[in-house]
Amino acid sequence: MINIYPEASRFRTDLDWLTSRASFSFGEHYDPDNTAFGPLRVFNDDIIGAGRGFGGHPHREMEIVSVVLRGQLKHEDSTGRKAVTGFGGVQRMSAGTGIIHSEANPADEECHILQIWMTPSESGLEPSYETSSFDPEALKNRLLPIVARGGGEGIADIHQDLTMYLSRLDAGKLVEFRQDAGRRVYLFVIEGELSVNGSALQRGDAARITEEPELNLEAAGEEAFFMLIDLP
């Protein structure tokens, strides 16, 4: 089953320093029928203005991944960790028993990120943080893992049985993904147009997919840049 959620259906926040599109209930936006997809709790597409950001705030029992698509993102937290990440960089924070952190755009240009929250597979973890990086050229016409349980070279670790992939397909190119029984897939189009088993998705659209053993993902326009998350 492929359920498509068009960009227009997402929760919108438009401030003088932040443009955000939320796929699930978040902050002041609440829909009791749209709070999660498996362990996936937050999937926000954020553009942060130059020199602005989210001040210090607490988190508990959540895995938080920030994928930088454009510009720079600065992280600081109550454990003393600091980092600045650009395109090709991923920040993963395990809030565990409790942490305070901030995220800001330190540059004089906009910062575009995907911010993704997952419930962990176990509670009571010690708070932790890491950055990882991937080669943007390696996204070309393949599904490149960037976050996964156990981590790896260029892959951030996460305390959940999932894998996040990025891909950038040339016009007419196709990649296949096999969905194991009992699992689900979340798909999000960052740029361009994508066809999944014949269903069309535009920029900003998402799909929540279950009981589809094989997925055929094809760039329907000049190019398609997208994220695929394999979830329990």
pLDDT value for 32: 94
pLDDT value for 49: 97
Q: Is 103 annotated as a binding residue?
A: yes
Q: What is the pLDDT of residues 93-150, one digit of tens each?
A: 999 999 999 999 999 999 999 999 999 999 999 999 999 999 999 999 999 999 999 9
Q: What is the pLDDT of residues 7-29, one digit of tens each?
A: 999 999 999 999 999 999 998 89
> The domain containing residue 103 runs over which residues?
2-231
pLDDT for 34 beyond 90: yes
Task: Tell me the CATH number at 61.
Answer: 2.60.120.10
Within 53-137, residue ranges assigned H as helices are none
The closest of 142, 227, 141, 156 to 186, measured between CA atoms, is 227
pLDDT for 224 beyond 90: yes
Q: Mean pLDDT over residues 55-78, rounded?
A: 96
Check residue 126 and report its DSSP letter. P
CA trace torsion 162, 123, 89, 53 (10° rounding)? 130
For 50, 132, 145, 214, the CA distances from 221, given in Å and listed in that order, are: 31, 30, 23, 22
pLDDT value for 98: 96
pLDDT for 221 beyond 90: no
Q: Mean pLDDT over residues 59-83, rounded?
A: 95
pTM for the predicted model, two decimal places:
0.96
Q: pLDDT averaged over the chain?
A: 96
Q: Is 29 annotated as a binding residue?
A: no
* Helix, coil or strand: residue 139: helix
Check residue 212 and report its DSSP letter. -
For residues 35 and 30, what is the distance between their CA atoms, to the nearest angstrom? Answer: 8
Q: How many domains does the chain have?
A: 1
Q: Is 101 annotated as a binding residue?
A: yes
CA–centroid distance for 221 within its chain: 22
In which band, very low, low, confident or very high, does the pLDDT at 231 lie, cut at 50, 70 and 90? very high
Q: Mean pLDDT over residues 42-57, rounded?
A: 96
Contact indicator for 20, 46 with CB cutoff of 8 Å: yes
Contact indicator for 97, 54 with CB cutoff of 8 Å: no
Contact indicator for 93, 58 with CB cutoff of 8 Å: no
Say if strands 128-133 and 89-94 run parallel, antiparallel, or are unpaired. antiparallel
Q: What is the pLDDT of residues 151-206, one digit of tens each?
A: 999 999 999 999 999 999 999 999 999 999 999 999 999 999 999 999 999 999 99
Q: Say how many C-beta atoms besides its own lie within 10 A of residue 157's C-beta.
A: 16
